Chain A
């Protein structure tokens, strides 16, 4: 199960962050998810990884562009990220996050800085920052179903065993 609402501290990154920067190609060939969490954002800023536990990752536009590597989404979840919020996402990364049970919200959080407390509700589609409320673009019912199952593996497992 994935929690679709919660609270965490903001970790802010820039715009057009590609999935190579989330997890570099040299770490992809393994089944050990911890490897990806250990090396997340290594080529962007090695100081980021230790701050991701319980974090709301706030990115600029076009988050997750580039390679289709699902390991990027898994790395963020394994490192402890609760939700990824950005004004726009690259579509494959957006699908990947939902498919591995990491909530994503399309929302422009103006005035957000590192360390601020963020409250969010993915189902109702809002984000609160310093007493200000922002609305996010709604997810489709299918995306909500997949997220609520905890990811596409559990979603299909539930359906195929019926």
Chain B
């Protein structure tokens, strides 16, 4: 009767524990704030520099002189302290960490709410703020409350035109925005073996949108094969009759393409019901859906066609960008009229590279459609890359099954 969180953290749910942190990562935004707190602590030695990662993604490259100065300060700190440093263009912190820097069973803490993404590897991965990150820098540890767990038991197969993002939006809608607050989510069941790493990353990425501390998959052959590409080996994990506080059953055959509607991520409608809703901009990218496979699915639809609305594509990482260049799908996207931005968060947080204006409507593959997030007075729908691409062609929300 032990959940994967309890197994990794070595204590039963509800217990407060102190644990060594195996990987501690920040981005340009939270990293500089953590450094300010660290300076206030008296700039002590870092407890374990080899576990510290700083990855520039939020305003990358810098959008103005003020940002540039803060980034210069954190860059200098990173080099001086000999931590792992990834400068502009490397990619989104969660994606960079997923490229061979996280192993099953590890405790991974990121100064970003979507750090739960890395639970896809069977690691305990969660987000904290800047002060907590500074505390980890100086002590190598953090405190945690071992969470209860809600189990999602998955069966069946996705149908044509339906993606892992549709499953993610559907499970968030079932739980609600605070349905898993203080809890972990575990994804198990007969279908998990068919879910590739990119799908697992998308599913775990959105766990925080239901308030969850993390989302987890048990490491299996899929995990081992993926990590093998980075010359890493991984022990497989298997469920040990885990005791869930809540069980939810989802049959993938029942899912359809959906969109989260303004301004709540837990409120979805089928793309078919929303068909015809006019849009001003499409954004394909982010830590949810900017991976190579996401871009490839969009390119498969857009190849040889033209987008009717401005469409911004931002690869999640340099590795995704490079692969999309080598296989030619990036050229397909550009020829279809897409604008391609450098790897990073792009316009997701509403600071640069595609911010919207008053009254505009965007369709985005991101994880949040909070009011005013991507531009004041604009509206945002969230969807899969396939739905985004199909809708870009028509200039209105489109059920992708009519196009694929």
Which residue of B42, B66, B112, B113 is within 8 Å of A161 (Cβ)? B42
Measured between beta carbons, the chain A residues less than 8 angstroms from B145 are 140
- In whole angstroms, what is the CA distance A96 to B33 when docked? 12
**Cβ 8 A contact of A157, one of B30, B36, B42:** B42
Residue of A20, A90, A96, A140 touching B131 (CB-CB under 8 A)? A96
Q: Which of A81-129 contact B (CB under 8 A)?
A: 88-92, 95-96, 99-100
Q: Is the CB of B42 within 8 A of A96?
A: no
Q: Does A132 contact B (CB under 8 A)?
A: no
Residues 13-45 of A at the B interface (beta carbon under 8 Å): 16, 18, 20-21, 24-26, 28-31, 43
Residues in B neighbouring A65, C-beta threshold 8 A: 177-178, 211
Beyond contacts A140-B145, A156-B134: 11 other A-B pairs, Cβ-Cβ < 8 A, are A16-B177, A16-B264, A66-B113, A69-B129, A92-B113, A99-B135, A152-B37, A153-B37, A155-B135, A157-B40, A160-B138
A152 CA to B139 CA, complexed, in Å: 12
A62 and B370 contact, Cβ closer than 8 Å, known pairs A92-B128, A156-B41: no
B161 located at the interface, meaning its Cβ lies under 8 Å from any Cβ of chain A in the complex: no
Given known pairs A68-B111, A160-B41, the reply for A91 and B370 (CB within 8 Å) is no
Judge whether B128 and A43 touch: CB under 8 Å. no
Q: B22-66: contact bitstring with A at CB < 8 Å (1 yes, 0 no)?
A: 000000011001001100111010000000000000010000101
A 133-155 contacts with B by CB, 8 A: 140, 142, 151-153, 155
Q: List 16 A-B contacts (CB under 8 A).
A: A25-B349, A28-B29, A29-B64, A43-B372, A61-B178, A67-B113, A67-B349, A68-B127, A70-B30, A73-B129, A92-B113, A92-B128, A96-B129, A140-B145, A152-B37, A156-B41
Write the chain A residue with the least CB distance to B59. Answer: A29
Give bound CA distance, A157 to B38, whole Å: 9
Partner of A68, one of B64, B113, B135, B264: B113
Cβ–Cβ contact A156 & B113, under 8 A: no
A43-B371, A157-B41, A157-B42 given; A62·B181 CB < 8 A: yes
Check B249 for interface membership: any CB of A closer than 8 A. no
The distance from the CB of A108 to the nearest CB of chain B, in whole angstroms, is: 14
- Please list the 3 inter-chain residue pairs (A to B) with the smallest Cβ-Cβ separation, ordered nearest first: A62-B178, A99-B131, A70-B129
Residues of B within 8 A of A67 (CB): 113, 349
Contacts of B242 in A (CB 8 A): none
CB distance from B314 to the nearest CB of A (A): 16
Q: How far is the CA of A140 from the CA of B14 in the complex (A)?
A: 11
Q: When the two chains form their complex, are residues A62 and B177 in contact, meaning their CB atoms are under 8 A apart?
A: yes
User: Are A30 and B41 CB-contacts (below 8 A) given A25-B351, A95-B128, A156-B135?
Assistant: no
Instruction: Judge whether B21 is part of the interface by a CB distance below 8 angstroms.
Output: no
Known: A61-B178, A62-B211, A88-B178. A20 touches B40 (CB 8 A): no
Number of A-B contacts (CB under 8 A): 124
**CB-based contact A88/B111 at 8 Å:** no
CA A97 to CA B114, docked complex, whole Å? 19
Taking a contact as CB atoms under 8 Å apart, the answer to whether A99 and B350 are in contact is: no
B130 within 8 A of A: yes
The CA-CA distance from A90 to B139 in the complex, in Å, is: 25
Which residues 249-301 of B have a CB within 8 angstroms of A?
Answer: 264
The reply to whether the CB of B94 lies closer than 8 angstroms to some CB of chain A is no
B371 to chain A minimum Cβ distance, whole angstroms, is 7
- Interface residue tally for chain A (C-beta within 8 Å): 41
Tell me, yes or no, whether B70 is within 8 Å of chain A by CB.
yes
Contact with A along B106-127 (1 / 0, CB 8 A): 0000011100000000000001
Q: B33 contacts A152, CB within 8 Å?
A: no
- B211 neighbours in A (Cβ, 8 Å): 62, 65, 90-91
Nearest B residue (CB) for A101: B131
Interface centre among B44, B64, B145 (most CB of A within 10 A): B44
B267 CB to closest chain A CB (Å) equals: 11
- Greatest chain B CB density within 10 A among A68, A95, A140, A142 is at A68
B220 close to A (CB within 8 Å): no
Q: Which residue of B lies closest to A18 (CB)?
A: B370
- Of A18, A62, A99, the residue contacting B132 (CB under 8 A) is A99
User: B181: shortest Cβ distance to chain A, in Å?
Assistant: 6
Q: Are B372 and A21 in contact (CB under 8 A)?
A: yes
Query: Taking A31-B36, A140-B16, A156-B135 as contacts, is the C-beta distance between A20 and B370 under 8 angstroms?
Result: yes
Select which of A29, A88, A91 is within 8 A of B67 by beta carbon.
A29
Kindly provide the distance from the CB of A137 to the nearest chain B CB, expressed in whole angstroms.
11
Closest to A88 in B: B181
Q: Mark B52-89, 1 if CB is under 8 A from A, else 0.
A: 00000001000010110010000000000000000000
Closest A residue by C-beta to B178 = A62
Residue B182 at the chain A interface, CB threshold 8 Å: yes
